[in-house]
Chains A and B, each alone.
Chain A
Amino acid sequence: MIDKEKLREYAKKLMFDMKDSEYDTLQKEFDVILKQMDLIGKIDNISSVLPMFYPFELDNVKLREDVVNNELVFDDLLVNTSNVKDNQVVVPKVVE
């Protein structure tokens, strides 16, 4: 079974924490998930297959022209943050 401290470490890397009881649930869930994941390794010669990262080859992908497009304006952008000064989002001091 996967070590609970290891799970806590992954959570910290992802910048969040969980309750102790939630780590217990996750530990049990991992047990099942890792058994499911073993099914991935059951296929013969899997390492010789090229990994697929998207559904199919797109033949029309081209970069569009780099044109100025002021779609977002300050008044819109700042609507989702409560702490704004001089069109900038205020955060705690980084350098003391």
Chain B
Amino acid sequence: MRFSDNTISNLRIKLDKGEVSSLDLFNTASALAYKYQDDCNLFVSILDKKDEEKSNSVLSGIPYALKDNISTKGILTTASSNILKDYVPVYDATVYKKLKESGAVLVGKTTLDELAMGGSGITAHTGIVRNPWDKTRQIGGSSSGSVGVVSLDIVPFSIGSDTGDSIRKPAAYCGVVGYKPTYGLISRYGLFAFASSLDHVGVIARNVKDISLVTDIIKGHDDKDMTTLEDDGVKFSDYINKDIGNKKLFYIKEICDYNTVDTDESKLVLDNFYDTVNKVKSLGFSVSEVSIDKDLLNAIYPTYMSISCAEATSNNANLVGIHFGNRIGSKSIDEIMFETRTNGFSELIKRRFILGSYILQRENQEKLYLNACRIRRLLVEKLTDLFKEYDGMIMPATGGIAPKFGDKSDNLSDKYLLLENHLALANFGGFPSITIPSGFVNKMPVAINITSGIKTDAMLLNMASKIENSLGYKNMIVGDDDV
């Protein structure tokens, strides 16, 4: 590993002093993007430089990348799916519009798991994405390219989306910081909907301060997204260094239990977690163990699958190849829709849609969909109660290191149901949640995750920044020897 000094603050100073130009930064980023593209496939499109808008923003002239499920007018946006392989959006997503107005410079659109459904980085229509730390391993997903471009120092930050853990888990596999805010803090207008009640736009960077600087620019109420929150005027990047006193954290005993894991590697991940907890305590935080009904916790993953697949089946019903999309067939409208969808979606997407359809059938709806929504309430109420007593929850971000291609997991095991999939809790309740690197297991990065109550993003980022400063992995990038 190496460390990069290309933080947003440092680049800002260099730009302001005239030591570099935005064109220099763009050219460097673009050259690196091309350099790693064959090996890692991080981008769907690497762009030519456009004139950035004049702005006094901290991001003016700073290069960045956007996940390819975020609308960019006039720029190919495929969601890494064959059905949208030639789709050019006709409007800008709010997050892109705000970044454009801030003068940030878009370097490229990053590869994702098709339609943001998946957590492997292997289902994009342009091929698999490889983990820069070890190219025989997955990078995770669905914000696969967006974490890779930050870990390779191509850009200082990128934008992703997170429906179950799609920013925070690949960030853990790749040794970078991944943050999803409180639901409604960042507008979803122009994000291709996967599961609207769980979808979040979020930020990936190499340190928490940079996450704060970017979030300050892109957050805020948006008339085009009625679920966005009113502006509260808090500037996260100012709040980040405030003394907030000693905070109280907890972890969930049943999830961080050595008895739930069955491999040495997972045990080492838990070792790393408990070592990190000790470091966090030495900073003045208190960290308590709390217990939650294991049957309820075991239902996290099926609840996520039920709600997300049901919403996805409905949200993607517009992909039929008539007004847009890769139209196939010509005999009748029905035939066009059928052939377009048959050829346009990969097998995994079809399987998820069928599951969503099954869940929504009249005879299954009560048992599978509505009961999942009831479990969602029980879990969210439980966490909301805990956040009244504690300032945040600290957990291992994953149950293992990035898997090898072809690795199979036991999807009914405790490890899979608990340690690998608990990050969806933050999506159920719209809680802000951040993953920060906490060390290495078998030469691959691992991370902790911190989640807090809704609308406490400023405090969460403050806590994460303090913890990050003590762990020693801030601004980490993949070393030359690793690539």
Q: Which residues of A contact B334 (CB under 8 A)?
A: 15
Q: Is the CB of A56 within 8 A of B430?
A: yes
**Which residues of B216-269 are within 8 A (CB) of A?**
221, 223, 226-227, 229-230
Per the CB 8 Å criterion, the residue count for chain B at the interface is 74
Q: Which residues of A contact B87 (CB under 8 A)?
A: 80
A29→B412 CA distance, assembly (Å): 12
Q: Which residues of A contact B342 (CB under 8 A)?
A: 16-18
- From B228, which residue of chain A is reached at the shortest CB distance? A60
Q: Which residues of B contact A79 (CB under 8 A)?
A: 88, 90
- From B334, which residue of chain A is reached at the shortest CB distance? A15
Q: Is the CB of B295 within 8 A of A39?
A: yes
A36 interface residue, CB < 8 Å from B? yes
- From B379, which residue of chain A is reached at the shortest CB distance? A52
Knowing A51-B377, A55-B183, A80-B324 touch, does A72 contact B412 (C-beta < 8 A)?
no
A89→B376 CA distance, assembly (Å): 42
Q: Is the CB of B338 within 8 A of A52?
A: no
Q: Report B291-305 CB contacts with A as 1/0, cut-off 8 Å.
A: 000011011011101
Q: Kindly specify which of B113-121, B345-353, B436-444, B458-466 makes contact with the partner chain.
A: B345-353
Q: Kindly specify which of B130-138, B147-155, B363-371 makes contact with the partner chain.
A: B363-371
Give, as a whole number of angstroms, the nearest-CB distance from B368 to chain A: 6
Give the contacting residue for A40; candidates B223, B302, B320, B322; CB below 8 A: B302
Q: Is the CB of B367 within 8 A of A81?
A: no
A29→B350 CA distance, assembly (Å): 13
Q: Is the CB of B227 within 8 A of A58?
A: yes
- From A89, which residue of chain B is reached at the shortest CB distance? B323
Q: Is the CB of A43 within 8 A of B375?
A: yes
- From A59, which residue of chain B is reached at the shortest CB distance? B230
Q: Which residues of A contact B355 (CB under 8 A)?
A: 30, 33
Most interface-central of A18, A50, A80 (chain B CB within 10 A): A80
Q: Is the CB of A94 within 8 A of B333?
A: yes
Q: Is the CB of A26 within 8 A of B374?
A: no
B207 interface residue, CB < 8 Å from A? no
A53→B373 CA distance, assembly (Å): 6
Knowing A36-B411, A92-B330, A94-B333 touch, does A72 contact B90 (C-beta < 8 A)?
yes
Q: Which residues of A contact B430 (CB under 8 A)?
A: 54-56
Give, as a whole number of angstroms, the nearest-CB distance from A77 to chain B: 6
**Which residues of B177-213 are within 8 A (CB) of A?**
183-184, 197-198
B354 interface residue, CB < 8 Å from A? yes
Give the contacting residue for B378; candidates A43, A54, A64, A72; CB below 8 A: A43
Give, as a whole number of angstroms, the nearest-CB distance from A68 to chain B: 14
Q: Which residues of B contact A80 (CB under 8 A)?
A: 86-88, 90, 323-325
Knowing A56-B429, A92-B332 touch, does A22 contact B347 (C-beta < 8 A)?
yes
Q: Is the CB of A51 within 8 A of B373?
A: yes
A53→B372 CA distance, assembly (Å): 10
Q: Is the CB of A40 within 8 A of B368?
A: yes
Q: Is the CB of B299 within 8 A of A33?
A: no
A76 interface residue, CB < 8 Å from B? yes
Most interface-central of A25, A36, A79 (chain B CB within 10 A): A36
A82 interface residue, CB < 8 Å from B? yes
Q: Report A69-80 CB contacts with B as 1/0, cut-off 8 Å.
A: 001100011011
A interface vs B, CB < 8 Å? 7, 10-11, 13-19, 22, 25-26, 29-30, 32-33, 35-37, 39-43, 46-47, 49-56, 58, 60-61, 63-64, 71-72, 76-77, 79-83, 89, 91-92, 94
B interface vs A, CB < 8 Å? 73, 86-88, 90-91, 183-184, 197-198, 221, 223, 226-227, 229-230, 295-296, 298-299, 301-303, 305-306, 313, 320, 322-325, 327, 330-338, 341-342, 345, 347, 350-351, 353-355, 357-358, 361, 367-368, 370-378, 380, 411-412, 417, 427-431, 454
A-B pairs with the 3 shortest C-beta distances?
A: A55-B430, A51-B373, A80-B324
- In the complex, 18 of the A-B residue pairs with CB atoms within 8 angstroms, ordered by the A residue number, are A10-B354, A10-B357, A10-B361, A16-B341, A18-B350, A22-B347, A26-B354, A36-B302, A39-B299, A40-B302, A46-B375, A53-B373, A54-B430, A55-B430, A55-B454, A58-B229, A60-B229, A91-B336
